[in-house]
Amino acid sequence: MHIPGTGYLRDLFRRTLDPALKTLSISKVSFQRPIFIWGLPRSGTYLLYDVLSLSPEMTFCGTKDYRMKKGIWGDMNYGDQTPSALAGFAKPVEGLSAMWMSAGVGDGIIDESQLKNLQMDRRKILTNYASLKRALPFKEIGRKYRILDKAPQYLMLADQIDYAFPDALHIFCIRDPRLVANSCLRLIRFPKNGVVPWKSGYLGNMRVNNTTSWTERPLVETMCHQIAELVEHCLDNQRTRRDRIFKVHYENLRDDFPTQVRNLVNALDLKWPKELFDVLPERFPSYDPEWPGINGTFDETFEIAFSMDEKPYLDKLSEVAVQLGYDSQAVGRVVSGVQDMKGRSDRE
């Protein structure tokens, strides 16, 4: 008969008294090569999160009541046509609040000026993620699951993510910034159920240095300036994480979904059952509006959520769009990879 030594009993006693140690000791979550998805709001981050969450290798924040209507099934934001074979799969939700804000990262707004002096509780973050999957009492841990998480605000927290997880992988979701601006303006000017997002006046509740709130200045002018600054933040992340960052253009994902997903799954070294590709749609319908021409006249509508007088502010985003690989004139047309600040194209 084996009698546990004092070291084992002391360790057991410590884990019993310390909830964090107990959680970590029975966790089925791996901290190796977690995947974090980020990008501008309305750039397809949830679309990608939804599909990657289907991998049996991943764990994530989620519920099992129903799949999000704006996920990969049906008409994006409109309608839900989830295949019956996937009806029991968990619905992924953003982990920003539960995983990071509870550990001292932000309080609803991610403010760049406060990040350098941030008092972040790394142990709390690891414990939060460790709690996503736990072994049953007196059972072996068995195989572990990789972390998958998504939030547009993670574009501001890439350094903090790398501090918590030094070998983290990042997915940069990209969409033409002119279409991002229009889509965000649509949410603000034609809100569903009267709920207006981002009441702080900062896109995605992200405050980058040298930006002001649109509650203080004209909405479209200020939003376009914020978008340009956030894109610069994304490009900074890319420059310092070349071997750990993967870039996905929303337009390519929309138009050739299986190929884009297959390439990404292979690049991330994810386990992916072959039968999952049978339920993926070939492509999605485009909800991008016909962009008004230089000399065209138009009124603000749900499709084009800005006026003729405001269009010059969106036109100024053309230079930013080119940096992200888009045609300067044909809005939404991908023509190259993402450029660095010297104008060199970086292949995806």
- For residue 2, the model assigns a pLDDT of 46
Q: What is the pLDDT of residues 309-319, one digit of tens each?
A: 999 999 999 99
Q: Distance (Å, rounded) from C-alpha 123 to C-alpha 126?
A: 5
Q: What is the pLDDT of residues 193-245, one digit of tens each?
A: 888 999 999 999 999 988 999 999 999 999 999 999 999 999 999 999 988 99
Mean pLDDT over 318-323 rounds to 96
Most confident listed range (47-51, 111-115, 247-251, 289-293): 247-251
Q: Is the pLDDT of residue 5 over 70?
A: no
**Tokens at 150, concatenated:** 């998504």
Q: Distance (Å, rounded) from C-alpha 339 to C-alpha 334?
A: 12
For residues 286 and 163, which has the higher predicted lDDT (pLDDT)?
A: 163
What single string gives the DSSP state of each residue in 210-242? T---TTTS-HHHHHHHHHHHHHHHHHHHHHH-T
Count of Cβ atoms closer than 10 Å to residue 5 Cβ: 9
Specify whether the CB–CB gap between 157 and 69 falls below 8 A: no
Q: Is the pLDDT of residue 338 over 90?
A: no
Q: Give, to the nearest 10 degrees, the angle between helix 19-26 and helix 122-130.
A: 50
Q: Distance (Å, rounded) from C-alpha 331 to C-alpha 348?
A: 20
Q: What is the pLDDT of residues 81-92, one digit of tens each?
A: 666 667 667 778
Placement of tokens 């960052």 in the chain: 245
Q: Is the pLDDT of residue 1 over 60?
A: no
- What is the DSSP-derived secondary structure letter of residue 39? E
Question: Does the pTM exceed 0.95?
Answer: no
- For residue 62, the model assigns a pLDDT of 81
Mean pLDDT over 34-51 rounds to 94
The CATH 3.40.50.300 domain(s) of the chain lie at 19-175+244-285
Q: Is the pLDDT of residue 99 over 90?
A: yes
Q: Distance (Å, rounded) from C-alpha 197 to C-alpha 199?
A: 6
Q: Does domain 19-175+244-285 bear CATH number 3.40.50.720?
A: no
Q: Which of 43, 55, 40 is nearest to 252 (CA)?
A: 43
Q: Give, to the nearest 10 degrees, the angle between helix 257-268 and helix 45-52.
A: 70
Mean pLDDT over 127-132 rounds to 93
Q: Distance (Å, rounded) from C-alpha 311 to C-alpha 220?
A: 9
Average pLDDT score, the chain:
85
Most confident listed range (136-145, 252-261, 321-330, 338-347): 321-330
Placement of tokens 């000791």 in the chain: 25
Residue 26 exposure: Cα atoms within 13 Å on the Cβ side? 15
At 117, the pLDDT band (50, 70, 90 cuts) reads: confident
- For residue 277, the model assigns a pLDDT of 82
**Tokens at 219, concatenated:** 């909405």
Q: Is the pLDDT of residue 107 over 80?
A: no
